Structure 1
């Protein structure tokens, strides 16, 4: 019975800890001509009071922010993150993102790409932290509408 009471007391806290601390705006559609380049800009917001580790963390033990794309209608040439800020947490100096920022993906459509509509699918993986604790790593699926002309 005591175990049941403890579970009922702790379960709401565990559920709150699992909620997203990061929000991604729905991506704008991309239109690109065959053989041409395009840029996709992902707008991300970390909720107040939290940060996510940068894509190039200084500490080996932290989980970096990663944006990966599946093979799709266009070729991914590069993913460019903004310059992170540095914060001191305990004895460690961490590189992190806070607030709103953008991640840019440079794309290219093949010369022989099929004209029409498609979807570019990706995944944004992150670990959100406060100054007191880090939460379990999480991922957000990204779906970008692409029109190839």
Structure 2
């Protein structure tokens, strides 16, 4: 009888135990949909020289992000910002053209990025740039959507680690597979 009561009490306790909260395992976050990678055109870069930073956005199949040139005012455009430290200046980001796509949720075609997209940022290492490894903080903002839903906008902090050499003779081109298609 004691075993029965213990088993019964255990069963009641198990039945009354709170269930784990429902998960949104089918709904990814914006961080899960876009995997950005940072590349430099020169490794090392020369003090007093120029180089480019590329942010390669790998967008999960079945999703898109709004292009820089948005086709509707309410859309959130892809945006890359640099915060160059002393010794560096950055130019305007070069965004690729988007592709007009039609989705079931919009009567108009939308200008979007899908697949792999490369954003390029020209940078100058001034004559006063510190030697050795330096860091240029970046922020990538985008909104990822599927055909059914749009995820909240996402801002990702990124880091471009650049080694600065004293002279141009030490600078070397790098990642030609990314930077040769200017």
**87, 92, 95: which one pairs with 2:101?**
87
Q: Secondary structure at the match of 1:16?
A: coil
Number of the residue aligned with 1:13: 24
**Is it true that 1:27 corresponds to 2:43 in the alignment?**
no
Select which of 54, 74, 78 maps to 1:61.
74
Q: Which residue of 2 aligns with 1:124?
A: 140
Computing the radius of gyration from Cα coordinates, the structure with the larger value is: 2
Does 2:59 match 1:46? yes
Q: What's the counterpart of residue 110 of structure 1?
A: 126
Q: Choose from 75, 81, 84 the match for 2:89.
A: 75
Residue 45 of structure 1: how far off its partner (Å)? 0.7
Contact 2:38–2:54 under 8 Å retained in 1: no
Distance 1:105 1:26 in 2: 11
Which digits, 9 at most, give the CA deviation of each residue in 1:91-121, with x for residues without a partner?
1221100001211111101122222221111
Stretches (4+) displaced over 6 A: none
Gaps of 5+ in 2: 1-17, 166-182
Q: TM-score, normalised by structure 1?
A: 0.85
Measured after TM superposition, the shift of residue 23 of structure 1 is 0.6
Deviation of the 1:70 alpha carbon: 1.2
Q: Aligned-residue CA RMSD in angstroms? A: 2.1
Unaligned 5+ runs, structure 1: none
Q: How many pairs does the alignment contain?
A: 143
Q: What whole-Å deviation, never above 9, does each CA across 1:23-46 have from its counterpart, x for those lacking one?
A: 112535742222211011221111
Indicate the SS of the match to 1:35.
coil
Partner of 2:7: none
Report the CA distance between 1:14 and its aligned residue. 7.0
Structure 1 Cα separation of the partners of residues 69 and 35 of structure 2? 20
Distance in 2 between residues matched to 1:22 and 1:34, nearest whole Å: 33
SS at match of 2:28: helix
